[in-house]
Amino acid sequence: MLREKKRIVFRHPSNPILTGEDFPFDVVTAFNAAVIKQGPRKYIMVARVENSALERYMWVCDSQDGIKFKPRPQPVPVPDKDPVYFEYCDGGRQRTYFDPRICPVEGQLYVTHNCHTDYGCMLGLFKVDQNFEKWEWMGLISEPDNRNGVFFPEKIQGKYWRLDRPNVDGRMHIWTMQSPDLIHWGVPRMIVKMGTPTRWAQLKIGPGAPPIKTKEGWLCIIHGVRPQCTDHVYQLGVMLLDLENPNKVIGVSKRAILQPETNYELVGQTPSCVFTCGATLEDNNEVRIYYGGADSVQCLATASLDDLIHACKHE
């Protein structure tokens, strides 16, 4: 199939927009960051950072333009005095939390995260204030092995909804879940399979940034993994879900909208990797996609909302 446009997603010329060199203390890498826009000149980022001892933190950064971000003086405090966190997620025992997603839900901000445990990856949840200064850890909200949990920003059919990616005997698809309180989850439904119809996601497919509400449906930037000789390639795609029933898939783009091409995406801790945890919709209908390059640096790409929706519905 011939496509009218060769590219619909464009890298920002300032890439990478954030690296370990931008932080105080011992920070080697910064990537897979969540971002929220709170006003015309207020963006807040929560980045995943790692030091030379491979200790992982989440670090809040501020920006007036969504491009140049300044890290705050200290990382997000680790809630290691919580007995559940200490038992399952304690970084001092080489268990860590990582890959945050900022999820606004009906006026309240939450941050979901992945968490390595002795039993596989699990999803954890923070409740935060508007300035990202007060962090309340609410516990683990999934069974193992599960990751990449993102909330929808409003109740649907009277329930909270999320997307996630459980590992079911090596089959890593996109699922929906429903909840009465954001803590207890059930009614699992598998909605998109790896490799179908996405050949660029033959090994894994999962949620990336939290869903964006549009007139056409819930727009979701997603990720997928495919084999390439002896390597794995991480790419980004896009899907559109029904506003009233997110189990109904309107469309998934058959093409990857962003794949590793530049040096900062090809060379790093995880070669050939682009991975997103956040996106914003601008007033001019530009979608800003914040993504990690090679699990080492933080990057930014942009796309037209209309192009992304077109890719879901017609490609």
Q: Does residue 96 lie in a domain region? A: yes
Query: Cα 248 to chain center, whole Å?
Result: 21
Residue 4 lies in a domain: no
What is the C-alpha separation between 116 and 279, in angstroms, rounded? 24
- Whether the link from the prior residue into 153 is cis, omega within 30° of 0, is no
Half-sphere exposure of 178 (CA within 13 A, CB side): 12
Structure tokens at 270: 């995880």
- Do the domain assignments include residue 209? yes
Q: Which two tokens stand for residue 159?
A: 């329930």
**Within-domain flag for 1:** no
Pick from 108, 192, 113, 189: nearest CA to 154: 108
Q: How far apart are CA 300 and CA 298, in angstroms?
A: 7
Q: What is the pLDDT of residue 180?
A: 98
The DSSP code for 230 is T
CB 206 within 8 Å of CB 194 = no
Residue 91 is predicted with a pLDDT of: 63
With respect to residue 5, please indicate whether it lies within any of the assigned structural domains.
no
- Other C-beta atoms closer than 10 Å to the C-beta of 8 total 20
- pLDDT value for 6: 82
The pLDDT of residue 96 is 83
Task: For the chain, give percent helix, strand, coil, nearest 5.
Answer: 10, 50, 40
Residue 234 sits in which domain range? 13-314
The per-residue pLDDT for 4 is 66
pLDDT at residue 92, rounded to an integer: 62
d(CA 191, CA 245): 11
Domain presence at residue 8: no
List the chain pLDDT tens, one digit each, 315 residues. 666 678 999 999 999 999 999 999 999 999 999 999 999 999 999 999 999 998 899 999 999 999 999 999 999 998 888 999 988 887 666 678 999 999 999 999 999 999 999 889 999 999 999 999 999 999 999 999 999 999 999 999 999 999 999 999 999 999 999 999 999 999 999 999 999 889 999 999 999 999 999 999 999 999 999 999 878 999 999 999 999 999 999 999 999 999 999 999 999 999 999 999 999 999 999 999 999 999 999 999 999 999 999 999 998
| 3 belongs to a structural domain | no
Residue 133 lies in a domain: yes
Q: What angle do CA 4, 217, 204 make, to 5 degrees?
A: 70
Report the domain count for the chain. Answer: 1
Q: Strand ranges (DSSP E) for 6-107?
A: 9-11, 29-39, 42-50, 56-63, 70-71, 97-105
Number of Cβ within 10 Å of residue 230's Cβ equals 5
CATH assignment of the domain containing 202: 2.115.10.20
| Whether the Cβ atoms of residue 192 and residue 239 lie closer than 8 Å to each other | yes
Q: Within a 10 A sphere around the Cβ of 65, how many other Cβ atoms? A: 10
